[in-house]
Structure 1
Amino acid sequence: MHGRPRKPLKPEDAAASAAKAEKLRVLQSQFLHNHHNHIYSKEAVELSTKLLETNPELYTAWNYRKLAVQHKMTESDSDPDSLKSILDEELRVVESALRQNFKSYGAWHHRKWILSKGHSSIDNELRLLDKFQKADSRNFHAWNYRRFVAASMNRSEEDELKYTEDMICNNFSNYSAWHNRSLLLSNLLKRKVEGFVSKEKVLPDEYEFVHQAIFTDPDDQSGWFYHLWLLDQTVRVDSPQLVSSWPTPGSDLILLGDRCLDGCASSPFTRFHLDSRTFPLVLYFNQAVEGVNSSTITVDSELNTNKDLVWKPLSSCNSKAAQVWVTQLNLPDGNTHSSKVFPVEVSLGHSQGIISSSGFHYSNPFCFAFRVSLQLVETQPVEALGKEIISWRDESFHNYNAHSQDSSPISSLYQLSIKNDNELTDFEWRAATIAKEIDHFRELLSLINCKIGKLTLARLLMAHDAMTCPPANKFSHSEEVLELYNDLMRLDPTHVQYYKDQHSLVLLQQVTSSWESLLSRCFHYSNSPSNRGSPMCLQLKNLSLSRLGSFDKLLWVQMLDLSHNELRSIEGLEALQLLSCLNLSNNILGSFTALEPIRQLKSLRALNISYNEIGAHSIDTTKYLCSSPLSHSVGSEWNHGQTVIDDDIKSYWEAYFILKGLNLTQFDIVGNAIVNEKFKSFLIKVLPGLKWLDGEQLH
């Protein structure tokens, strides 16, 4: 059993175990001789039977028996009785092996293979399963096989659902039965079987059913996991939705040259500094989708007259599906008058093709527009760029006072969440269901101090806030949820990292829930508070963040300070395509692999990762001796013929593949274990545009 410590064997038991092992070695040696020499005689097959009855986990022996069966079936000249006899003997052997170990993967798979031949009766299988499920009602191997048998018998899913109910009523702790119930309900709802047409009719009864288990024995986790599945079914919208974009709907985007003059009247939230004649258009969905292309997304503007737009998924695993997609819009060639305004209209959902990973199509036609203008300003010569170092000291930032021309980069995003009539109909029962569940678990927690109850209440409160309208009232329960996660960190130190991550996500949702909340963390970067041409910095430092989120509200950010947190990774940061200055100093990033998202931040010019733990932990470099040197995607585009592997690249393989495509002019890495003179020389080589390294100007 799980969690039980092993005890040393008694001398007589140890001797018996050694004798059994010796017998097994002899059998196995004889069996392998027969297998390698393709011997399928009666004696050879009987020997494999003895071996499997002793050790049902020997998968090679099951494969040998498949070959032996195929050999015998070839010799039987398709005689039905002979074929049935051969396969019935295999069923007998499998049953004998299962009595030895009814959790043997190989035995269950072999039984499926036999029945798939179509010469054996399946009528006896449910009776056999009843025997094994009485021995262990939670045996997931048997439940998995039951699904195979039920499908083969064309047994209705309604009957199987009733069977799971009987098994659960017999034992609330039957996790496998709860799991099977979730699979059956998912299929019934997806196929809209009579009586299972809508979640509104089905899920309330399921909540009542699982309450019996949870309130009877709050310490048993099986019912809690099923409740979590029900919560997901209640709040999740199957079809993908567009939740944010940059530029935002209705915005007036002003594109500037390399340096804006003092006195520039544009808002820093709608201003983008160009260093080329392109700028990004970003779409952010509520789930990963594929099929985003010029056929499914129409962009009507003078800015893309040359050719079809190429959309790129921003994914860390080279997947064709991603939550965030980006394309580049081009300014027209030639001199553009500063007064010229380019309207841009983006349409999606008018033709099918955008589809989620779970197979649901984007089905809500939507159109939004924004305007783009180019402001001609005096720019410094190219050779002068990068000579001014970015300073992250507090005195370099000044409180930002909002001006009348400032428009919220998030207020219009909520327009993208407009629901169709069917979704509006669903909304009321979903919200009412969540509110009812909150009341139930408040009552439970008033009676007992239950860790998983606190976790469930936190999830329910966040689900309720996410469904609340209007947006101004969103996340009204965030303080209570944060306190719940603080309690859980104290009560359950074993899972403290998970609770810290969830606490961080809730805190970021709170910070980004309103324009006023975001403004309180926006600071003007300049040497003079009156210089409105300088960048706007969003400061999320000193918040004890261990995980990042809410990126859909931060697509506008060009300068971001995440210093003095507890970040181990920056997963999801690739969505911030405008980001040019990033401060990650004083976190606990352990390797360059944790920085993988910055590879897709092509506007990034200043990066500070000083005082982290890069190089402080040993790394298994043997896994990098291939075309994909990092854990998943980094380096998969590496061309053996074009990349010269010198000693520096071999020594700093991770750093090379993270940094090689960036155009950094400023890089701070002091305070990491990896830093020495050799590594600094490597950085200068791999970042040819670098002007500043650890605060020192390069010559």
Structure 2
Amino acid sequence: MAQSVLLSHLLQNKVKGFFPKEKVLVEEYEFVHQALFTDPDDQSGWFYHLWLLDQTVKPETPLLVSTWPVHGSDIIVSAEGCLDGRALSPFTSFHSDAGTFPLILYFNEAVEGVNSSTVTVKSVFTENKDLVWKPLATSKSCAAQAWVTHLNVPDVKLHPSTAYPIEVNLGDSQGIISLSGSHCSHPSRFAFTVCVQPLSSEHVERQGVEMILWRDVNFHFYDAHIQESSPIAYFDRLSIKKDHEPAASKWHAKTLVNEIALVRQLLSEIDCKIGKLTLARLLMAHDAMMSYMAPHSHKKVHSEEVLQLFSDLMELDPMHSQYYKEAQSLVLLQQVTSNRESLLKHCCHHRVSTSSSVGNSVCLRLNNLSLSRIGCVEQLLWVQMLDLSHNELRSIDGLEAMQLLSFLNLSHNKLSSFTALEPLRLLKLLKVLDISYNEIGAHPIDRRRYLCSSPLSHSVGSDWNFNEFVPDDAKVTNYWEAFAIFRGFNLMQLDIVGNAITDEKFKSFLIKVLPTLKWVDGEELH
């Protein structure tokens, strides 16, 4: 442990006269190999090996890995999700009633210092100095992987055929810093154009006249062989690829290949749980590095083997099965988002004939995948309609980065309390939410509330007039959590049936808290 701390300090600060990082890591790998083969059951050697792996694959500085809008896209900002009667791609259209649209930056690790000094936005809509950047994190930390600002669309009649350019530059200064103290030293630039579709009187008359139904019959899949029908035409521009030193990349890849071969050899001689875990992490790191070095490939060569390794670990080590299950979920999501074809298999068109509230009506369906954790969010910033039903989610951490989400189905999961829904407080565009058939109210003690910043904090909402919403004989704790989560939402539709907490009294409470509701549990409010 002391050795890793000292080495980490030397590598991070690049002590003058110290050996190059690659030479140091090679020597340390050789040292730990001796320990692993001498006593494979000694976990300290494996832990040090995992630390060396992290030093090998982790970039030395924070990197911008994804944005919305994506580079080179032509965005249509409109109060309607269609133009000239044609459905639009979620990459090229955005439904807004507020006269603003979000600009999202997603980094490979949590950073702080994102502001108008470190990020320059050139736009005819808003002065750069007037932009306020906010970290998308449920905690009170000033650091986050995802950051957002909003550009105002002028309340004037702009010509719909005019494309207004917007250019974003960051990284020229040393102000964007990771939690470890490293600076974002690789300048990034991306640009896109915006067309403004004026709000029509027809839209005002027919806005939001239909309830959203999540039944399979209301969705149809896109034809993967017809490019014109693809709603993800800008998929290849999702990730921001950078040209780092090719020699270093080759060394990293060679090191991973060598370590994979060594661990395979060791596992052929002894059945070792932490060895299997190490092999899974090595294979995942190798696939991630290969997709980075060959950005047009995106093929996850070892994903099936990794999935099997985690399945084996769940049987060998049931005490930590939830950890392995969550890691397996991340691999599944990496498979789904690894290329255009696999992602398109999960994209559906929602059959809505008259409602303009659905916008582009493209839904990403990640239901029935046995997911227990959200991941690969950097590939999903464009999603406005998401179906995560019939999974095993206990947490939705990560969804807060998906600022375009307007329609979300979380039904038939394992969410145990309203505290687990805290990321939703950062989704200001959310209109439709289905949390039916979860476990909310079924557990008398919610241990999660002690692990995260929660609505139970005395500092949150201390000025709210809570008592005017709650029945006199109600259990205050349950109502307070729901109040803290949903207060300020503009939900149009909410489904909450099938939870232990649900009764008519609680529904009446939610209707008071959410005056914008039109439907609750499939019934229209009058």
Fold match by TM threshold 0.5: yes
The answer on 1:547 being equivalent to 2:373 is yes
- Alignment-mate amino acid for residue 470 of structure 1: A
The answer as to 2:219 corresponding to 1:397 is yes
Residue 486 of structure 2: which of 650, 659, 667 is its match?
659
**2:246 paired residue number:** 424
- Matching residue of 1:209: 31
**How far did 1:237 drift?**
1.1
1:527 deviation in Å?
4.5
Corresponding residue to 2:41 among 206, 219, 222: 219
Aligned counterparts, 1:287-686, within 5 A: 287-305=109-127, 308-376=130-198, 378=200, 380=202, 382=204, 384-401=206-223, 402-404=226-228, 406=230, 408-414=233-239, 416-420=240-244, 423-468=245-290, 469-471=293-295, 472-527=297-352, 534-619=360-445, 631-634=452-455, 638-646=460-468, 647-648=470-471, 650-651=476-477, 652-686=479-513
Q: Does the 8 A contact of 2:400 with 2:424 survive in 1?
A: yes
User: CA separation of 1:302/1:264 partners in 2, compared to 1, >3 Å: closer, same or farther?
Assistant: same
Measured against aligned partners, the alpha-carbon deviations of 1:450-478 in whole angstroms (never above 9, x if no partner) come to 21111100000011111112122442111
Write the letter of the residue equivalent to 2:505. Answer: K
Q: Secondary structure at the match of 1:338?
A: coil
- 1:199 — aligned with what? 21
Distance in structure 1 (CA, Å) of the matches to 2:150 and 2:73: 18
Instruction: Report Cα offsets for 1:322-359 as digits up to 9, x if no partner.
Output: 10000001112311121121100000011221111110
What secondary structure is seen at the aligned counterpart in 1 of 2:326?
helix
Counterpart check, 1:282 vs 2:104: yes
Contact 2:90 2:383 in 1 (8 A): no
Aligned with 2:59 (options 237, 251, 256): 237
CA contact (8 A) 1:562 1:585 kept: yes
1:128-158 C-alpha deviation (Å, 9 max, x unpaired) = xxxxxxxxxxxxxxxxxxxxxxxxxxxxxxx
- C-alpha distance in structure 2 between counterparts of 1:211 and 1:195, whole Å: 27
Opposite residue 495 of structure 1, the aligned amino acid is: H
Give the distance between the partners of 2:111 and 2:27, measured in 1 at CA.
Answer: 32
Contact 1:261–1:377 (Cα < 8 Å) also in 2: no
Q: Output the amino acid matched with 2:503.
A: N
Contact 1:538 1:561 in 2 (8 A): yes
Structure 1 351/569 Cα, relative in aligned 2: closer, same or farther at 3 Å? Answer: same
> Residues 640, 450 of structure 1: CA spacing in aligned structure 2 closer, same or farther, 3 A cutoff?
closer
State the distance in 2 between where 1:377 and 1:395 align.
31
Separation of aligned partners in 2, 1:262 and 1:337 = 15
Q: 1:383 Cα deviation (Å)?
A: 6.9
In structure 1, C-alpha distance between the alignment counterparts of 2:507 and 2:257, rounded to whole Å: 57
Q: Which amino acid aligns with 1:357?
A: L
Once residues 446 and 322 of structure 1 are traced to their aligned partners in structure 2, the CA distance between those partners, rounded to angstroms, is 41
The reply on whether 1:182 has 2:40 as its aligned counterpart is: no
Measure, in 1, the Cα distance between the counterparts of 2:464 and 2:329. Answer: 42
Identity level (%) = 61
**Partner Cα distance (2:430, 2:170) in 1:** 29
TM-score, structure 2 as length reference: 0.92
Structure 2 segments unaligned to the other structure (5+ residues): none
Instruction: Return the letter of the residue paired with 1:617.
Output: H
SS at match of 2:499: coil
Cα deviation for residue 669 of structure 1 reads: 0.4
Report if aligned partners of 2:337, 2:379 keep a CA contact under 8 Å in 1.
yes
Instruction: Supply the AA of the counterpart residue of 1:289.
Output: V
Higher mean Cα deviation, 215-224 or 556-565?
215-224
1:688 paired with 2:524, answer no
Deviates more, 1:577-586 or 1:651-660: 651-660
Change (3 A) 1:308 1:378: closer
Deviation at 1:316, TM superposition (A): 1.0
Give CA-to-partner distance per residue, 1:206-232, whole Å, 9 cap, x none.
111111111111112110001011001
The one-letter code of the counterpart of 1:394 is D
Where does residue 79 of structure 2 map in the other structure?
257
Aligned residues of 1:203 and 1:230 also touching (Cα < 8 A): yes
Distance 2:181 2:431 in 1: 39
User: Over aligned residues, Cα RMSD in angstroms?
Assistant: 2.4
Q: Which amino acid aligns with 2:319?
A: T
CA contact (8 A) 2:176 2:184 kept: yes
Shift of 1:636: 6.2
Three-state SS of the structure 1 residue aligned to 2:319 is helix
Name the CA distance, whole Å, in 1 between partners of 2:305 and 2:446. Answer: 43
Q: Note if contact 2:222-2:229 (Cα within 8 Å) is conserved in structure 1.
A: no
Moved over 6 A (4+): none
Aligned partner of residue 367 in structure 1, secondary structure: strand
Query: Is contact 1:302–1:332 with CA below 8 Å preserved after alignment?
Result: no
Post-superposition CA distance 1:18-76 (Å, at most 9, x none) = xxxxxxxxxxxxxxxxxxxxxxxxxxxxxxxxxxxxxxxxxxxxxxxxxxxxxxxxxxx
Pairwise CA distance, 1:493 = 1.0
Which structure is higher in helix share? 1
**Distance between the aligned counterparts of 2:280 and 2:445, measured in 1?**
37
Show the counterpart of 1:85.
none
After superposition, the Cα gap between the structure-2 partners of 1:320 and 1:231, relative to the gap in structure 1 and judged at 3 Å, is same
- 8 Å Cα contact 1:261-1:378 kept in structure 2: no
Distance 1:639 1:413, change over 3 A: closer
CA contact (8 A) 2:116 2:129 kept: no
**Conserved in 1, the CA contact under 8 Å of 2:298 and 2:339?**
no
* Matched AA of 2:243: K
Distance 1:305 1:331 in 2: 12
Corresponding letter in the other structure for 1:253 = I
1:383 to 1:588, Cα distance in 2 relative to 1, 3 A: farther
Contact 2:352 2:361 in 1 (8 A): no
- Would the alpha carbon gap of residues 330 and 658 (structure 1) be closer, same or farther in structure 2, given more than 3 Å must change? same
Shift of the alpha carbon at 1:375? 2.7
Contact 1:462 1:481 in 2 (8 A): yes
Instruction: Quickly say closer, same or farther: Cα 1:517–1:641, change in 2 above 3 A.
Output: closer
The residue type equivalent to 2:523 in the other structure is E
In structure 2, the CA distance between the partners of 1:185 and 1:630, relative to structure 1 (3 Å rule), is: closer
Larger Rg: 1
Secondary structure class of the residue paired with 1:524:
strand
- Give the distance between the partners of 2:238 and 2:179, measured in 1 at CA: 24
Do the aligned partners of residues 696 and 482 (structure 1) sit closer, same or farther apart at CA in structure 2, a change above 3 Å counting?
same
What corresponds to 1:33 in structure 2?
none
Greater fraction of residues in strand: 2
- Give unmatched runs, 5+ long, in structure 1: 1-178
Name the amino acid aligned to 2:194: V
Counterpart AA for 1:498: Y
**Is 2:80–2:359's contact at 8 Å kept on the other side of the alignment?**
no
- Whether contact under 8 Å (2:116, 2:128) holds in the other structure is no
CA distance in 1 between partners of 2:15 and 2:286 (Å): 29
Note if contact 1:504-1:548 (Cα within 8 Å) is conserved in structure 2: yes
- What secondary structure sits across from 1:302 in the alignment? coil
